[in-house]
Amino acid sequence: MSHRHFIYGPRHAIVHLMPWLVVALILALVATIAAGVSFGATAIPLAHVWKITLSHLGMSGLEADWSAGRDNIVWQVRLPRALLGASIGASLALVGAALQAVTRNTLADPHLLGISSGAALGAIIVLLHTGMFLGLITVPLFAFLGALGSTLLVVAVARFAHASDASRLILSGVAISFVLTSLGSLAIFLGDPRATHTVVFWMLGGLGLAQWNQLSYPLAALFICGGYLVYNARNFNAMTLGDESATTLGVSAGRFRMTVFVVCALLTGAAVAFSGIISFVGLMVPHLVRMVVGGDYRRVLPLSALVGAIFLVAADIVARVIIPPQDMPLGIITGLAGGVFFIVLMRRNGKAG
């Protein structure tokens, strides 16, 4: 099998449909966000959703036939929540796809590599022990530092154990994830009992704390770090062939891998800081995308971002309507969906094998 066939796979012809596929997914994302704003314990007609949104964006001449309560629900509560969900879903899907390429392990994702656990530990320390001494930036900053620290620990442990093979980094990640999760549990145990219930709900994942004044952080991380990952799609294609082949193609494999780890730590830290731990998105979405378009990362990365955004917004709709008026933790929904997906995937691969 040639290197070209390995990278592009048997679905290379789909490149001609790529622009239409991107447009279709963007329209699907807009429709899903609109549905996320419309559905809930208090249903709001889609016509009102669009009118309220456009009025806040400065469009004049609209008939204000909605109540102040609906205006507040749409603009202050549900729209920032849906936009946060889209940015978090896109970020986690990009991280999963990138890590799977540089480790050449299809099970790699921010959770299994310990990045999510490190980010969670940093956020728990702020919420229960230090307080917001730097203002709103405190939680995202500590979450990023925790994610970056866990990434460095994974690399250090892999080198200490002489696990130089990139695919074995995931074993170090699992070990670090267990350690950091235990430290997070210890921090909760030692924290203020009156605040621990909030942290536990946050650790299960959710978008209920979304606010306009905080959206800039995950969105900035997505556009800057996600842009870097998409820009380097050709390097990811080279990395899937192995370090020696990547070096032959002009990619410094070790340096690029470490850079990707730092970028993924920043993306994961920004995501975890505002949504808690949401599992399986980074693991499941890249698999779904590769099943449709093949292994070329010039297609996998942007499509994973769009599919991840759609998936998480849709999962949040389910979380809000399944037991109204309460919100089910989002991590439960994504965990159930991811578990079922991989059971089906294992059965399919078993039949193929």
**8 Å CB contact between 132 and 139:** yes
CA distance 179 to 159: 18
| Contacts of residue 111, Cβ cutoff 8 Å, sequence gap at least 6 | 117, 177, 277, 279, 280, 282, 283
Instruction: Name the pLDDT band for 223 (thresholds 50, 70, 90).
Output: very high
Phi, psi dihedral angles at 110 (to 5 degrees) = -60, -25
Secondary structure element (H or E) that encloses residue 343, with its range = helix 330-352
Over residues 129-142, the mean pLDDT reads 81
Name residue 293's amino acid: V
What's the mean pLDDT when you consider all of the chain?
A: 84
pLDDT digit string, tens, across residues 277-328: 888 899 899 999 998 888 899 999 999 999 999 999 999 999 988 877 778 8
CA distance 51 to 62: 7
Q: Read off the DSSP letter of residue 334.
A: H
CA-CA-CA-CA dihedral for 107, 108, 111, 114, to nearest 10: 130
Q: Give the lowest-confidence range in 32-46, 131-145, 311-325.
A: 131-145
CA-CA-CA-CA dihedral for 315, 345, 227, 142, to nearest 10: 60
Q: What pLDDT score does 6 carry?
A: 40
Q: Quote the tokens at residue 133.
A: 């001494």
How many Cβ atoms from other residues are within 10 Å of residue 34's Cβ? 17
Higher pLDDT, 17 or 31: 31
**8 Å CB contact between 346 and 66:** no
> How far apart, in Å, do the first and last CA atoms of the chain sit?
19
Q: What pLDDT score does 133 carry?
A: 84
Q: What pLDDT score does 350 carry?
A: 59
**DSSP characters over 273-310:** HHH----SHHHHHHHHHHHHH-S-HHHHHHHHHHHHHH
Place of tokens 């924290």: 191
Whether the pLDDT of residue 157 is over 80: the answer is: yes
CA distance 255 to 35: 43
Give the global pTM: 0.87
What is the topology classification, in CATH, of domain 3-352?
ABC transporter involved in vitamin B12 uptake, BtuC (1.10.3470)
Q: What pLDDT score does 246 carry?
A: 87
High-pLDDT (> 90) share of the chain, %: 30
Q: What pLDDT score does 232 carry?
A: 95
